[in-house]
Amino acid sequence: MTTDADDHTRIRLEELLAAVRTTDGPLIEPLSLEPAIRNIEETLEAYEQLDSSAVSPEDVR
């Protein structure tokens, strides 16, 4: 995957997280998108961990 694709995916996940948080605000108390918010946050964390542990072609040489 290219750096541009990595950045695009991370940015899109962050945009999605912001949109879900915004949507969660007006919901009445018993309803919540908190499980979805946690899921997206965990996905972002995992994505960033995978991205930071990825081996670049320069490292292989």
pLDDT tens string for the chain (61 positions)?
456 777 898 999 999 999 999 999 999 988 999 999 999 999 999 998 887 887 665 655 5
pLDDT of residue 23: 96
pLDDT of residue 43: 96
- Neighbour-count burial of 3, counting CB atoms closer than 10 A to its CB (0-12 exposed, 13-18 middle, 19+ buried): exposed
- Domain limits of the chain? 2-53
pLDDT of residue 50: 86
SS3 content of the chain, % helix, strand, coil (to 5): 75, 0, 25
Neighbours of 28 (CB within 10 A): 6
Locate 44 and state its tokens: 């972002």
Contact 47, 13 (CB under 8 A): yes
Output DSSP code: residue 36.
H
Output DSSP code: residue 19.
H
pLDDT of residue 56: 60
pLDDT of residue 3: 66
